Structure 1
Amino acid sequence: MSIIIRRVRHEDWARVKQIRLDSLRDPVAAIAFLETHEQAAARPDEFWQDRAARAAIGSAVAQFVAEDTDGRWLGAVSVVVERPGGPGALEGDVVRVEQAHIVGVYVRPEARGTGLAPDLIRAARDWSWSLAEPRIERVRLFVHEDNARAEALYVKVGFEPSGVALPVPGDASHREIELAVSRG
């Protein structure tokens, strides 16, 4: 099976919506997302159109998809640029340097274990390093403390625990663990 990793295009908005809804229905992936299927499904088409348009161009956010030769999307990942002094990802989060934050990592069940997830993460990381402005100093992501499989994947592609652990929104009994990689 031949797969390409590419950045979404603005006309992909319906597919951006569909893969997000699919990811939120997946019981294995549910621990990884802070949004519910019901919340995402209730958003109007204009939300998804804007989301795809912003992720398709510019240097503030990007979304990458893994597409097979039949045009089927097998996975997706997004990356958001965070500026010092700007809002962090979670309550108590502090952005101190120019950084990129990888979010929404998802691979369909039939493509798991194929190396697709590392390829998607590398695409997001490499895009971040390629930005001329801002010059990204580090790339990070958060993983739920009970998601050992995802954490092992992130460590495998070079991310390391930063020592930051923040409460899961709406569930202070659990933590989101930050993993990061700095520019070498």
Structure 2
Amino acid sequence: MRGTTIRPTTEDDWEAIRALRLEMIRDTPMAYAEHLRDAEQLDEAEWRARGRRGQEAAGTSMVAIDADGRWVGAMGAFVPDEATGPLLVGVYVAPSHRGREAGVADRLLDAIETWAAERGPTLRLHVHERNERAQAFYARRGFRPTGATEPYVLAPEERELEMIRDLDGTPA
């Protein structure tokens, strides 16, 4: 979307990070490993720490800010270990800015993929088994299911599906 800025977060962004995170959880609770009531109780120090993720070497936190200054999207990534490589987390785009035409999700993912390509040959993610909208976006962007699943942390009887994308453009 024209006038939308994609950039890493900073510690000073903590209030906007908090507001966006609460919006994310309200919009799609199954997509995040955090209950709304828990997120609402976090203190300023925790939100500042989350803001610093955008400046870390082993992780990043990117946001999309529209021309009016509204935070309309977020994506993060980190490297949990060398075998796993970069892992995509915390993906959200506000309903008003969703869709291929808006391009916010694509631009955020482009930024994450650029960051991840410097840290490994693939980018992995875990997506809730019922989050079909997200699965379709990831498939369009070249991610494929690995066949691996894991329990969803907030409801262990539900599953998260692992997907992977080779960052050099060939299938993973």
Q: What TM-score results when the alignment is normalised by the length of structure 2?
A: 0.89
2:90 is matched with 104
Give me the identity figure in percent. Answer: 34
Distance 1:142 1:5 in 2: 23
Structure 1 unmatched runs, 5+: 85-95
Distance 2:22 2:154 in 1: 21
1:146 is matched with 130
1:88 is matched with none
Distance 2:107 2:144 in 1: 18
Q: What is the RMSD computed on CA atoms of the aligned residues?
A: 1.4
Aligned-pair distance for 1:42?
0.6
Distance 2:67 2:154 in 1: 40
Structure 1 pair 170–58 and aligned structure 2 pair: CA distance change class (3 A):
closer
Counterpart code for 2:124? R
1:40 is matched with 39
Aligned with 2:47: secondary structure? helix
Q: Runs of 4+ in structure 1 displaced over 3 angstroms? A: none
Aligned residue pairs total 165
1:173 is matched with 157
Aligned mate of 2:59, from 58, 61, 72? 61
Q: Is the 8 Å Cα contact of residues 122 and 157 (structure 1) preserved in structure 2? A: no
Q: What TM-score results when the alignment is normalised by the length of structure 1?
A: 0.84
Counterpart code for 1:148? E
Aligned mate of 1:76, from 53, 74, 77? 74
Q: Is the 8 Å Cα contact of residues 113 and 167 (structure 2) preserved in structure 1? A: no
Structure 2 unmatched runs, 5+: none
Q: Is the 8 Å Cα contact of residues 25 and 31 (structure 2) preserved in structure 1? A: no
Distance 2:5 2:156 in 1: 39
Q: Is the 8 Å Cα contact of residues 59 and 81 (structure 1) preserved in structure 2? A: no
1:9 is matched with 10
Q: Deviation per CA, 1:96-154, whole angstroms, max 9, x where unpaired?
A: 24x1111110111111112211221221121111x3xxx31321111111111110001
Counterpart code for 1:79? A
Aligned-pair distance for 1:170?
4.2
Distance 1:34 1:69 in 2: 30
